[in-house]
Amino acid sequence: MDLFLVALLPPEPIRSDIWALKQEMHQRTGSRNAVNLPPHITLIPPLRQPAPFAAAAAASLREFGRAQKACLVGLEDFAWFQSRTLYVHVAQAQAVQQLHEALRHWCATQLPAVPAPTRPFVPHVTLATRDLPPAAVPELRAEFASRRYAATAAWEELVLYQHDGRKWQVQETVYLLPAHGLAD
């Protein structure tokens, strides 16, 4: 069984800005999870499927993407899930929530191997998680409570990743339709 996930990636310069923050977390804390994937919002969390799922999921995502518009996403500052995960807060999330809901419905009928979500969808861009040293958390919490970051753009890149046993590999990239009238 292989591991797959589907993510929405930010455009430049947001991608580079957040990648620099992820690199900072890796260098400061040794968190390898921080640098396992480029900056993204997870739409379908990691799931185990047989290898042939890759082709079916790629074809399905291509078809899904033909009718979906890019998402206007606004990022603002930082937040935490408990003491395990530091992330960039998605302050303007309506379009991403709509895309997630559309993808969930699509998968229910067109890609039933993808299970229905078991947790509420909370769009976020992870900077460090799971292997973040507990001793580093109090200092990071204090620092990121006062650090500021803000960016808004149309996110159009939907990516299917497959884990090869060592790292995540892109299996398919789907570009969503331009969202006319959205501020870049």
Q: In angstroms, rounded to a whole number, what is the distance separating the alpha carbons of residues 122 and 126?
A: 11
**pLDDT band (50, 70, 90) for residue 162:** very high
Q: Looking at residue 12, what is its pLDDT?
A: 97
For 35-47, the pLDDT digits (tens) are 999 999 999 999 9
- Give the total number of structural domains in the chain: 1
pLDDT at 169 over 80: yes
Percent of the chain at pLDDT above 70? 97
Q: Mean pLDDT across the chain, nearest whole number?
A: 94
pLDDT at 110 over 50: yes
Calculate mean pLDDT across residues 95-110.
97
Calculate mean pLDDT across residues 128-137.
92
pLDDT at 152 over 80: yes
Q: In angstroms, rounded to a whole number, what is the distance separating the alpha carbons of residues 138 and 33?
A: 19
The answer to whether residue 108 is domain-embedded is yes
Q: Looking at residue 77, what is its pLDDT?
A: 98
The answer to whether residue 60 is domain-embedded is yes
Q: Looking at residue 33, what is its pLDDT?
A: 85
Q: Looking at residue 84, what is its pLDDT?
A: 86
The answer to whether residue 45 is domain-embedded is yes
Q: Looking at residue 180, what is its pLDDT?
A: 66
pLDDT at 66 over 80: yes
**pLDDT band (50, 70, 90) for residue 183:** very low
The answer to whether residue 123 is domain-embedded is yes
Domain residue limits at 67? 2-175
The answer to whether residue 184 is domain-embedded is no
The answer to whether residue 180 is domain-embedded is no
Task: Find the CATH number of the domain harbouring 159.
Answer: 3.90.1140.10
The answer to whether residue 93 is domain-embedded is yes
Calculate mean pLDDT across residues 12-37.
94
The answer to whether residue 181 is domain-embedded is no
**pLDDT band (50, 70, 90) for residue 34:** confident
